[in-house]
């Protein structure tokens, strides 16, 4: 824990890391979850983990879901995020237990909503998602998963079965002391509006998306 100097010259503690703030029942169309709310003292973000059933400590079915307003709330077909979130929630209910960590501050792979919309405008002009971020002078992927690992540690989770196609999520959790026992693919059938985006994720961001080979007819 770091310290800061108060107005009278006295040192006062400054919280760091993630702090569990509240645990509330959250009935959803998928099932009844516990919404565990956290405050990330390092970034100031409010975070939430949706916990279903008795999760235990080992091999917990888990999704780290990056916030995506356009996909999660508006049903955008520019990406597959909304469908992935729904699939993850259904999967943990079918499993009987699991966790979906919803990571706020990850909009647009960490560049924010307005910057993401600017990048989408550039993609409409022909750039891919990587080129668009770089054209705006922004990082290709600015996300950090330390807070997700902190939440899992707080929930006493030692190892996960990670629902993800992104190898960077696995690598980040391992760096932060969470064992990844298995990577569980979360493959959503592509459509005409997102096939180029998904191919870019596979070819330039190393996402594991083998199902795209079966849809070569999409342009």
Active-site hit among 118, 143, 161, 170: 143
Q: Of 176, 198, 180, nearest to 189 (Cα)?
A: 198
Please say if 161 is a catalytic residue: no
Q: Are 62 and 101 in contact (CB under 8 A)?
A: yes
Q: Where are the alpha helices (DSSP H) in 32-155?
A: 81-95, 107-110, 113-124, 129-135, 146-154
Confirm if 180 and 152 have CB atoms less than 8 A apart. Answer: no
CA 190 to each of CA 81, 117, 204: distance values in angstroms, whole numbers, following the listed order: 11, 21, 17
168 is catalytic: no
Which position among 40, 109, 141, 161 bears the catalytic label? Answer: 141
d(CA 130, CA 26): 36
Task: Give kind and range of the element (H or E) at residue 202.
Answer: helix 195-205
Cβ burial of 185 (10 Å; 0-12, 13-18, 19+) is: exposed
At residue 184, the 3 state secondary structure works out as strand
Counting beta carbons within 10 angstroms of the beta carbon of residue 134, is it exposed (0 to 12), middle (13 to 18) or buried (19 or more)? middle
> Which residues are known catalytic residues?
141, 143
């Amino acid at each position: 824990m770091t310290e800061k100097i108060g107005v009278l010259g006295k040192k006062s503690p400054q919280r760091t890391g993630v702090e569990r703030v509240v645990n509330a029942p959250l009935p959803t169309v998928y099932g009844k979850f516990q919404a565990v709310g956290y405050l990330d003292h390092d970034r100031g973000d409010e975070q939430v983990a949706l916990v279903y059933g008795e999760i235990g400590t080992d091999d917990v079915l888990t999704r780290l879901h990056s916030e995506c307003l356009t996909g999660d709330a508006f049903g955008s077909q520019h990406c597959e995020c909304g469908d992935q979130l729904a699939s993850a929630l259904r999967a943990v209910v079918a499993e009987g237990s699991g966790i979906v960590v919803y990571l706020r501050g990850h909009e647009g792979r960490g560049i924010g909503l307005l910057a993401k919309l600017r990048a989408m405008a550039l993609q409409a002009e022909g750039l891919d998602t990587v080129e668009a971020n770089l054209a705006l002078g922004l990082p290709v992927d600015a996300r950090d998963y330390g807070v997700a690992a902190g939440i899992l540690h707080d929930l006493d989770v030692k190892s996960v079965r990670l629902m993800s196609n992104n190898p960077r999520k696995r690598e980040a959790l391992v760096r932060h002391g969470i064992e990844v026992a298995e990577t569980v693919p979360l493959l959503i059938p592509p459509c005409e509006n997102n096939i180029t985006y998904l191919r870019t994720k596979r070819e330039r961001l190393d996402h594991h998306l083998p199902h795209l080979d079966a849809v070569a007819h999409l342009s």
